[in-house]
């Protein structure tokens, strides 16, 4: 099956349809760039992904496969629209950070990726999220299967009140894993950088661990079902700086094998751990929109959209 190669663009590449083109009105007249575009976007020439000219993509210097391709994804809670027509790729084996102020729909978007929003009465998703050639939003796609292949780590560490071993083994067991469970548990805990701390007390309750250890246990639990993508919703926001650093190191290591999408409030964290960054913002009506997506370095050093720059430099609340 053909993979989606989403960019091959360099600034000199001829595929650069770029701003000048999209700034043309149907009549062919060249208009001024939209007011939210930085006027002096000299170095980074952006490509608009959606017709609203809101989401801006930097040109990429590397060639990556997409793990997920979002097309016009909107999410609703009852009659309230939380996110509006987001279109972007999630690159495979990279860390993608979702940043933006509170309430802009980061968690909502993340929970669309593994159909977690199905569990909320009245929640609804529109659009398309392509995952291995299928639209995983499609009601005919089994949400349980989606969640097995796209794991999740939550904001507050939430180990089961069971033994450390059971915490890790549970997912594999219910999914009919028939291999050597002891090895799987050890392997998962090793990858989550927790094995050395707990190897002598696997029978201890997961709740007896420290916050940082609990969060790494949750990561081990997610890894144990061997997912392709791991979603993390502010995984370090409840942790102290040392534990946070450990989780960040872990994310970098995991990115070699997994695709990671991480929501974070913390600019420095996004800068440290992520390869790609999506900046989301909610307007007046509290509807979250994608403002800018691109390589983290470009977003941080050379944002195209004025609002991105304002947010990154801390001019937003």
Ligand X SMILES: Nc1ncnc2c1ncn2[C@@H]1O[C@H](COP(=O)(O)OP(=O)(O)O)[C@@H](O)[C@H]1O
Among 170, 187, 238, 265, binds another protein (CB under 8 A): 170
Look at strands 229-233 and 150-153 and give their pairing.
parallel
Angle of CA points 177, 181, 185, to nearest 5°: 110
User: Which residues, numbered 109-148, are part of the site for ligand X (CB under 6 A)?
Assistant: 120
Question: From the list 7, 96, 108, 308, which residue makes contact with ligand X (rule: CB under 6 A)?
Answer: 108
- Residue 18 Ramachandran class (φ > 0 left, ψ -120 to 50 alpha, else beta): left
Closest CA to 131 of 98, 92, 85: 92
Structure tokens at 4: 């989606």
Q: How many CA atoms lie within 13 A of 293 on its CB side?
A: 24
Report whether 100 contacts 288 (CB < 8 A): yes
| Residues 275/58, Cβ–Cβ less than 8 Å | no
Reported in sequence order, the residue ranges of the chain that DSSP labels E, i.e. its strands, are 47-48, 56-57, 66-77, 80-91, 95-99, 123-131, 134-135, 150-153, 229-233, 259-263, 276-282, 288-295
Choose from ligand X, another protein, Mg ion, none: what does 82 bind? Cβ within 5-8 Å by kind. Answer: ligand X
| Residue 221 binds another protein (CB under 8 A) | yes
Per-position x/- string for 74-113, each x denoting binding to Mg ion as judged by CB under 5 A, each - no binding: ---------------------------------x------
**In this chain, which stretch among 55-63, 66-74, 96-104, 206-214 interacts with ligand X, using CB under 6 A?**
96-104
Examine residue 286 and tell whether it contacts ligand X (CB under 6 A): yes
Nearest CB to ligand X, comparing residues 100 and 157: 100
Nearer to another protein, 143 or 267 (CB): 143
Write each residue from 38 to 77 as x if it is in contact with ligand X (CB under 6 A), else as -, in one continuous string.
Answer: ---------------------------------------x
The contact pattern for ligand X, residues 295-314, with x = CB under 6 A and - = no contact, is --------------------
Our finding on whether 224 is near another protein (CB under 8 A) is yes
How many residues make up the chain in this entry? 317
Instruction: Determine the Cα–Cα distance for residues 158 and 223; give it in Å rounded to an integer.
Output: 15
**Shortest reach from residue 176's CB to another protein, in Å:** 10
Among 57, 148, 289, 307, binds another protein (CB under 8 A): 148
Angle between helices 211-224 and 241-254 in degrees, nearest 10: 20
Contact between 156 and ligand X per CB under 6 A: no
Residue choice 66, 74, 81, 114 for contact with another protein (CB under 8 A): 114
Is the C-alpha dihedral spanning 111, 268, 281, 156 positive or negative?
positive
Here's the x/- map for another protein, 180-219, by CB under 8 A: it reads as: ---------------------------x----------x-
Rule CB under 8 A: say whether 158 interacts with another protein: yes
Q: Which is nearer to Mg ion, 270 or 304 (CB)?
A: 270
Q: Is 145 in the site for another protein (CB under 8 A)?
A: yes
For residue 279, the cross-strand partners are: 99, 292
Residues 6+ apart with CB under 8 A from 238: 155, 156, 157, 211, 215
Residues that bind Mg ion (CB under 5 A): 107
Residues that bind ligand X (CB under 6 A): 77, 80, 82, 100, 102-108, 120, 286
């Amino acid at each position: 099956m053909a993979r989606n190669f989403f960019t091959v663009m360099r600034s000199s590449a001829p595929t650069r349809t770029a701003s000048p083109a999209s700034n043309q009105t149907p009549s062919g007249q060249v208009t001024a760039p939209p007011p939210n575009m930085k006027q002096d976007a000299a170095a980074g020439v952006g490509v608009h992904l959606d017709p609203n000219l809101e989401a801006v993509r930097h040109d990429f210097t590397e060639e990556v496969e997409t793990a997920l391709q979002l097309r016009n994804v909107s999410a609703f809670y009852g009659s309230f629209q939380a996110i509006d027509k987001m279109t972007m790729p999630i690159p495979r084996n990279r860390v993608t950070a979702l940043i933006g102020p509170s309430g802009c729909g980061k968690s909502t978007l993340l929970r669309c990726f593994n159909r977690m929003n199905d569990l909320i009465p009245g929640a609804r998703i529109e659009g398309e999220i392509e995952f291995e050639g299928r639209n995983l939003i499609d009601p005919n796609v089994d949400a349980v299967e989606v969640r097995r292949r796209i794991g999740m780590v939550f904001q507050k560490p939430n180990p089961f009140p069971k033994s450390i071993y059971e915490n890790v083994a549970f997912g594999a067991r219910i999914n009919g894993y028939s291999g050597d469970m002891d090895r799987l548990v050890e392997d998962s805990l090793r990858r989550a950088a927790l094995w050395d701390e707990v190897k002598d007390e696997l029978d201890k309750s997961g709740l007896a661990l420290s916050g940082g250890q609990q969060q790494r246990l949750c990561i081990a639990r997610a890894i144990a079902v061997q997912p392709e993508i791991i979603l993390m919703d502010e995984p370090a926001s409840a942790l102290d700086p040392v534990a946070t650093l450990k989780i960040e190191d872990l994310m970098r290591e995991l990115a070699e094998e997994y695709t990671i999408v991480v929501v974070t409030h913390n600019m420095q964290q996004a800068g440290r751990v992520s390869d790609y960054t999506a900046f989301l913002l909610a307007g007046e009506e509290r509807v979250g929109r994608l403002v800018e997506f691109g390589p983290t370095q470009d977003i941080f050093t050379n944002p195209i959209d004025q609002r991105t720059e304002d947010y990154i430099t801390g001019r937003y609340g």
